[in-house]
Amino acid sequence: MPAIFTARDLPALRKAAYPYLKKKRVKHVQGCEKEAYAIALKYGADPIQASVAAILHDITKALDLSNQLILCSRYGIICDDIEKNSASLLHSKTGACRARELFDIDQTVFDAIWWHTTGRPDMSLMEKVIYLADYIEPTRDFEGIEKLRTAVYQDIDSAMALGLKMSMEDVEQRGFPLHRNTADAFEYYKEYLN
Ligand SMILES: [Fe+2]
Ligand SMILES: [Fe+2]
């Protein structure tokens, strides 16, 4: 049975998780936890499980590509060609597996971590909470963020559409290959765009 976390477990969880992060990422994870709690409350997701997912979502982000690939083979994660060359894409999958191994998270939290970078079509509420909290937490600053922040607290699906669109534009601008899951997710959510 996976661990059931309560509010009382969160301080110990933070203490155990933060050492896996680069120092500069701690503030992001703290911001993400706050935001995930608030979004979860707004939409009726469990705010404690959202906090757990946020605390753990970037637990393998500090690892470079070769270490990401080592974790992939250890956990049996099958990578496609784009993922094989992207530590940034892999950290969500390796992070979910590592978090389960270390902290015995349940499937809802696991999936929220697993999908937090690309998104996917028809996401669970917890997956949307973490995807968006990661995107708009208070330390984030980029063009259009205020519009996205407003959307998140108005309509979670139109926020997903907007977030995915912005993410696709960002990937294109940086000259990275677009992962299919993101394109498929946008296809799914674009009808909510307003
Ligand atoms: Fe991440
Ligand atoms: Fe993150």
Asked if residue 94 is part of any domain, the answer here is yes
Tell me the residues surrounding ligand 1 (ion) with CB < 5 Å. 58
Q: How confident is the model at residue 4, as a pLDDT?
A: 87
Q: How confident is the model at residue 188, as a pLDDT?
A: 98
Q: Which ligand is nearest to the CA of 55?
A: 2
Asked if residue 185 is part of any domain, the answer here is no
- What percentage of the chain has pLDDT greater than the value 70? 100
Looking at every residue in the chain, the average pLDDT score rounds to 97
Closest CA to 149 of 30, 25, 42, 27: 42
Stated pTM of the model: 0.97
Asked if residue 192 is part of any domain, the answer here is no
Asked if residue 46 is part of any domain, the answer here is yes
Q: Which ligand is nearest to the CA of 60?
A: 1
Q: How confident is the model at residue 3, as a pLDDT?
A: 82
Q: Which ligand is nearest to the CA of 54?
A: 2
Closest CA to 134 of 73, 101, 88: 88
Q: Which tens digit of pLDDT belongs to each residue from 142-171?
A: 999 999 999 999 999 999 999 999 999 999
Asked if residue 161 is part of any domain, the answer here is no
CATH code of the domain containing 66:
1.10.3210.10
Asked if residue 156 is part of any domain, the answer here is no
Q: How many whole angstroms separate alpha carbon 34 and alpha carbon 97? A: 23
Q: How confident is the model at residue 183, as a pLDDT?
A: 98
The answer, yes or no, to whether residue 8 has pLDDT greater than 80, is yes
How many whole angstroms from 136 Cα to the centroid of ligand 1? 13
Q: Which ligand is nearest to the CA of 61?
A: 1
How many whole angstroms from 149 Cα to the centroid of ligand 1? 18
Asked if residue 154 is part of any domain, the answer here is no
The answer, yes or no, to whether residue 67 has pLDDT greater than 80, is yes
How many whole angstroms from 92 Cα to the centroid of ligand 2? 9
Asked if residue 11 is part of any domain, the answer here is yes
The answer, yes or no, to whether residue 56 has pLDDT greater than 90, is yes
The whole domain housing 72 covers 7-142
Q: Contact 192/152 with Cβ under 8 angstroms?
A: no
Mean pLDDT (whole number) for 12-34: 98
Closest CA to 61 of 29, 35, 30: 29
How many whole angstroms from 187 Cα to the centroid of ligand 1? 22
The answer, yes or no, to whether residue 136 has pLDDT greater than 90, is yes
Tell me the two tokens of residue 99.
Answer: 């978090």
Domain total in the chain: 1
How many whole angstroms from 59 Cα to the centroid of ligand 2? 9
